[in-house]
Amino acid sequence: MPKHLPTFKHLLHSTQTDQKAEPKQKSVNDLISSSRNARPVAGSSRDVPPHLAGERVWSPSSTSSTTGSAGGLVDVEEGGVHPAEILRRSNIAQRQASRYVAGPAPPPSWRPTTTSSGPSSSSTSQVDARAIAPKDQPVTTDQLTASSALLSASPSHSSRPSQSDTLVKFCFMAVLRHLEDERVIYTPDEDGLGGEGIYTLGRLLREQIPYLSSPLKSAFLDIASTLPSNYPHRLSDRAFLAILSETPAEEHHVESQSSDTSTVNDWDIPPISDTAISHLPITLHPSPHQLLSRISELNSITSLNLAYSTLPSDMDKLVSVLPAGLRELGLVGIRFGGKTVDDLNLRRGFSALSRKLIVLRMLVLSHPRFDLTMNILEGLLSPGNSKLPSLRTLGLRGLTDSPHSDNGQTTYREVEKRACEDEKDWQCGVKISRQEVIAMIKASGRNKYVEVIWS
């Protein structure tokens, strides 16, 4: 062997003590086992399976042999469920979820877990919880902006410049934050006035808001209507009434003009269209009919947006306060309050609504959060000569086309049992036949064409 080649003999003469001194690197299994042993878990140190999370499981007790109990199981009255039963429910829910997606369904750990209320609860209750949960999600600014996209008075269709990141918007947002501020900023020296002379910051702003011009009031209402549902400073009823109230100076000016008829000039009187607000957005309101009943001047309102509001189950309360001269009505994402809301009452309510609004040209019923069936639409639109005879546009966005409809026999509760994969869409499972809607409109005997907007 040539002498210039290495032999590595120096590795053979290393002592055993030197080898022991070298630190041994731990493997992955050693790290996992050591971390599990370090956990202060009573009983088993294994992780809880996903389908057992939040469940009260029947488990054998170590004291069964000493105490003489029957198997050492948790009492049935305490809500214990056998692991095999929980696994069976999980498998059923997984099979049901796989029917509504293309390909394999996501594992249960990817879906929100819902705890069962007792042994009698089945997997259908978990599917119902997933379908109902999106309804309680906060309404975003994009949804509120899209709700008024079809209306002619929408901010996107307005001729005035956009209110995004402008000084006017920042001023309006500052006013919104302090409209309900009860901090005292002025106290009179005399005690004889009582509480009337004490001024808070909110009271001062509410008394000064009526002095805004009508375009500024409309811009203020548009900005306030697009605020999300979780915004802490949304407009209250008191603020709405303050904005829509007339300016005291204008009232005095009108009274002085009416008293002295000799000096009245027609050209000097501003027209009503320049001083009145024609578009009123009331979004996310729990009871808009009560607010509308307190507004003194509703005859000038030709466009009303009640997007994502809660209407009364007795729609006659709302119909009685609506102005008959409405041209546009937005009912995007509405729901009905009360315990007794059935298909028959809704059909009667929408029928009364359509008989009153004879000059309505646009009705938007997109993304409904109630049981919108063909029976309700028929009561709303048929016959066409007496129900919404001036209708030209009908908005039905957010509804899935169903080629085979059951004439409105499927209830909303049955539809909610279908698993919704896209939890951001409130109408991912609600279906309605477009062909039946178009055929019903054609058969209603209308003189002019009605455009149905689906998307």
Residue 36 within a domain: no
Domain that holds residue 383: 309-455
Residue 357 within a domain: yes
Report pLDDT for 117: 40
Task: Kindly state whether residues 175 and 246 are assigned to the same domain.
Answer: yes
What token pair was written down for 48? 């809880």
pTM score, whole prediction: 0.62
Q: Is the pLDDT score of 15 beyond 50?
A: yes
Residue-by-residue DSSP string for 354-390? HHH-TT--EEE--S-SS---HHHHHHHHSSTTTSSTT
Please, which pLDDT band fits residue 106 given cuts at 50, 70 and 90?
A: confident
User: In the chain, how long is the greatest CA-to-CA distance?
Assistant: 133
Task: Kindly state whether residues 318 and 409 are assigned to the same domain.
Answer: yes
Q: How far is C-alpha 137 from the chain's CA centre?
A: 5
Distance CA 210, CA 205 (A): 9
Least confident of 128-132, 193-197, 329-333, 334-338: 128-132
The 10s digit of each residue's pLDDT in 49-98 is 766 766 777 666 554 444 444 444 445 455 567 778 888 888 888 888 88
Task: Kindly state whether residues 455 and 331 are assigned to the same domain.
Answer: yes
Please, which pLDDT band fits residue 165 given cuts at 50, 70 and 90?
A: low
Report pLDDT for 411: 41
What token pair was written down for 277? 């607000």
Distance CA 428, CA 419 (A): 9
Residue 40 within a domain: no
Reduced DSSP (H G I as helix, E B as strand, rest coil) percent helix, strand, coil of the chain, to 5: 40, 5, 50
445: CB partners within 8 A, 6+ apart:
383, 384, 385
Helix (H, G, I), strand (E, B) or coil at 267: helix
Report pLDDT for 176: 94
Task: Kindly state whether residues 178 and 244 are assigned to the same domain.
Answer: yes
Distance CA 249, CA 213 (A): 12
Report pLDDT for 107: 75
Mean pLDDT within 413-422: 41
Residue 23 within a domain: no
Distance CA 320, CA 324 (A): 9
Report pLDDT for 125: 37
Task: Kindly state whether residues 222 and 320 are assigned to the same domain.
Answer: no
Please give the single-letter amino acid code of residue 195: G
Q: Is the pLDDT score of 169 beyond 60?
A: yes
Please, which pLDDT band fits residue 161 given cuts at 50, 70 and 90?
A: low
Residue 439 within a domain: yes
Residue 177 within a domain: yes
Task: Kindly state whether residues 446 and 356 are assigned to the same domain.
Answer: yes
Q: Is the pLDDT score of 159 beyond 60?
A: no
Distance CA 92, CA 57 (A): 19
Distance CA 436, CA 374 (A): 8
Task: Kindly state whether residues 237 and 361 are assigned to the same domain.
Answer: no
Identify the residue with better confidence: 395 or 258: 395
Mean pLDDT within 117-131: 38
Across-strand partners of 394?
Answer: 363, 452
Mean pLDDT within 294-299: 89
Number of domains in the chain: 2
Task: Kindly state whether residues 324 and 443 are assigned to the same domain.
Answer: yes
Least confident of 130-144, 239-253, 317-331, 367-381: 130-144
Report pLDDT for 11: 72
Task: Kindly state whether residues 221 and 358 are assigned to the same domain.
Answer: no
Mean pLDDT within 33-62: 64
Residue 321 within a domain: yes
Mean pLDDT of the chain: 76
Task: Kindly state whether residues 445 and 318 are assigned to the same domain.
Answer: yes
Distance CA 308, CA 335 (A): 7
- What share of the chain has pLDDT > 90, as a percent? 40
Distance CA 96, CA 89 (A): 11
Please give the single-letter amino acid code of residue 446: R
Mean pLDDT within 178-195: 78
Whether residue 406 contacts residue 373, with contact meaning beta carbons closer than 8 Å, is answered with no
Report pLDDT for 5: 75
What token pair was written down for 416? 């909610």
Whether residue 167 contacts residue 306, with contact meaning beta carbons closer than 8 Å, is answered with no
Q: Is the pLDDT score of 404 beyond 60?
A: no
Distance CA 235, CA 221 (A): 9
Report pLDDT for 120: 38
- In angstroms, the Cα distances linking 207 to 168, 210, 277, 449 are 19, 7, 18, 47
Mean pLDDT within 97-106: 78
Residue 187 within a domain: yes
Task: Kindly state whether residues 163 and 224 are assigned to the same domain.
Answer: yes
Task: Kindly state whether residues 341 and 453 are assigned to the same domain.
Answer: yes
Distance CA 4, CA 6 (A): 6
What token pair was written down for 320? 């009685």
How big is the chain by its Cα radius of gyration, in Å? 34
Q: Which of 440, 417, 322, 447 is nearest to 131 (CA)?
A: 417
The 10s digit of each residue's pLDDT in 200-256 is 999 999 999 999 999 999 999 999 999 999 999 999 999 999 999 887 655 445 555
The 10s digit of each residue's pLDDT in 316-354 is 999 999 999 999 999 999 999 877 788 899 999 999 999
